[in-house]
Chain A
Amino acid sequence: MSSVADYPELSYIRAVNLALDESLQTHPEMIVFGEDVAIPHGPFGATKGLLAKFGDRVFDTPISESAMLGAALGSAMGGMRPVVEIMYADFLFVAMDQIVNQIANSSYVSRGMLKAPLVIRTQQGHTPGACAQHSQSVEALFAHIPGLRVAVPSTPADVYSILKASIALDDPVMVFESRKLYPTKGQVAVGQDDSGIGIARTIQTGDDLTVVTWGTARALVEESVASGAGAGASIEVIDLRWISPWDSSRVLESVSRTGRLLVVHEANTNAGFGAEVVSTVAEELGSRLRASRRIGLLGTPVPSSPALAQAVLPTVARVTSAITELLKD
């Protein structure tokens, strides 16, 4: 086994590509399909080279998200292991029925006889200039649905291991990648298996404040903390990685020590998953939770212009001032 130092630096998108490639080798029943994934290599390059290597196990479909996701469920129940790419998470909404009414129910209602080993890969969030229909962060909508597993990986290492583990799993998993993060690089534990389904990662330990984050917001938290937010206070940072099922015991253990909780996500604050995190901690810890805050989108559709987007999306400055405020309590 190679040591950590030997792990290659890969971009996030290349880590996705490698996870798909290795999984196609491991699981002969796996297929990959979606819009422009085969001949054009995927709109973001996630499926580059897979057609050449795996032939018709990788194929292009019409622009028909309902049919694609229904076909994922049917082929999964029929013994395959489909991985479907939905180009933008915003497009999931034209196929909500297949996800919510069909895919999510199949195991439960059949008492596990109709398994749905499928992965819906998509990417989400805002990048400069993107319109309101290509900028949303929608993971909380799916965490609300029993029967779906939902991951929001924030690093190349996590997206690699989460994808591989999700593909091997007999449950439906939605993996929310990020096109903003696609070019970012990091060490990837190639060949290592991830048994951490539903498990969060503690990025740094601390005693005064717990910051819970995931996806693109992790970088804001890291930048804020690195730039000295909290002026010497000891801050614990947890990347949730999965929001359903989620690692509540890790968060509870942390806040039981720190007494303060900040949740940061790119998705809208109102009814966002941060509300679930805070209320779970409040229910379990009662007055041991001394103070909490949520940071997310400020209740608007995401405007295209960078000048406007900056005003409504979470920023490093907002994270830093929330940290400062929380530490006053």
Chain B
Amino acid sequence: MQLSLADHYREMLIIRLVEEQLMVAMTSGLVSGSTHLCIGQEAIPVGACSVLRKDDPLIATYRGHGWALARGVSPVDLMAEVMGRDSALNGGRAGSAYLSAPLNHFYGENSIVGAGVPVALGLAIACQRAGDGRVPLVSIGDGAMNQGNVHESLNMGSVLEIPMILMVENNGYAEMTPSHALTAVPAIARAAAYDIPGFETDGNDPIAVASTVAKAREIALAQSTTVLVEAHTHRLAGHYSGDVQAYRPAGELQEKHESCPLARAEEQLTQDEVTQIRASVVSYIAHEFAAATQIPAPSPEGAFDYVFSS
């Protein structure tokens, strides 16, 4: 079922406002350490999750708050985890950059560049053998395309005929270096190298992302193959909190803000729709944040549990 643009907008706004709320929380000292925000990239998780099955396994990167939220994790749980509280997600063990929500089939963020791809391949093997039509999606940045394990996985997914979607979020930068300076060929060119289908999409348009991911999913299952999707977008926050972004050319941020997924959706929606959705999401996130600050810190006695499961 295709979501309307208004529905997409609401979902994207939730992600944007959670990320902005976390920036505020950081300045007031409520977050320890650094975070990697997905401001500007909201259309990709929102569009993708609108067409994935709720039980399609999902893996993201440290820039993965948007994927967790798009997969149905509540903002209160996510913000509590980021603030090191005893959250329903990981009880403060994961933090911003490594959180997971197994009940939502979100197998987690990953703080090692590229490393989620082999893990997703394994989930894909499990799904394929279960034969119940689930297809995992793993999201990485464009910089991760230069990690060996990504190439190992694309080759293995191709030769072993494993249905999986590799989503490459090309946001223009890998940390502080422009992507084009680091990568010999575009991400999409790697698809042909491994004889797998590849699609590019407008990563600032949730409807375009949704239709591309729907197509990729269908092909992955029908042809029993790994599929690569490169979504073009732009990161509007720093690489990490505290990144002063001196590496950006003058005027870049302003220009990219104007073409960000929220700005573009707002152009197409009526003023009334925008005002109404904004008002409701603003109060929703304020409420969720207040609730998150009420969640206590985890008890230190628990710190020794679950090194092993059995």
Contacts and interface: CB of A to CB of B under 8 A. Distances in A.
Interface of A: 31, 59, 61-62, 64, 66-80, 82, 97-98, 101-102, 105, 107-117, 146-147, 149, 169-171
A326 to B, nearest CB: 35
Interface stretch (B13-21, B114-122, B229-237, B246-254): B114-122
27 contacts: A31-B129, A59-B160, A64-B153, A66-B152, A67-B155, A68-B156, A70-B115, A70-B119, A70-B153, A71-B119, A74-B124, A74-B136, A77-B119, A78-B57, A79-B126, A80-B129, A97-B115, A98-B119, A107-B308, A108-B306, A110-B94, A110-B100, A111-B91, A117-B309, A147-B308, A170-B309, A171-B309
Nearest to A114: B102
A111 B305 contact: yes
B121 A102 contact: no
Interface in B7-43: none
Contact of B155 (A62, A74, A75, A102): A62
Contacts of A82: 122
B127 interface: yes
Given A66-B153, A101-B111, A107-B306, 15 more contacts: A64-B155, A66-B149, A67-B152, A70-B115, A71-B122, A74-B118, A74-B125, A77-B119, A78-B122, A79-B126, A82-B122, A97-B115, A109-B108, A146-B307, A170-B309
Contacts of B117: 70
**B121, B155, B309 interface centre (most CB from chain A within 10 Å):** B309
A76 B107 CA distance: 12
Contacts of A72: 122
Contacts of A111: 90-91, 93, 305-306
B310 interface: yes
Given A70-B117, A111-B91, A75 B122 contact: yes
B189 interface: no
A67 to B, nearest CB: 4
A101 B126 contact: no
B155 to A, nearest CB: 6
B130 interface: yes
B131 interface: no
Contact of B118 (A98, A110, A112, A146): A98
Interface residues of B, number: 43
A69 B115 CA distance: 11
B310 A171 contact: yes
Contacts of B90: 109-111
Contacts of B167: none
Contacts of B153: 64, 66-67, 70-71
A109 B98 contact: yes
B79 interface: no
B166 interface: no
Nearest to A66: B149
Contacts of A149: 308
Contacts of A70: 115, 117-122, 149, 153
Contacts of A66: 118, 148-149, 152-153
Interface string B272-310: 000000000000000000000000000000000111111
A78 B100 contact: no
B112 interface: yes
A112 B121 contact: no
A98 B308 CA distance: 17
A74 B120 contact: yes
A74 B128 CA distance: 12
A78 B309 contact: no
> Which of A72, A110, A149 counts the most B-chain CB atoms under 10 A from its CB?
A110
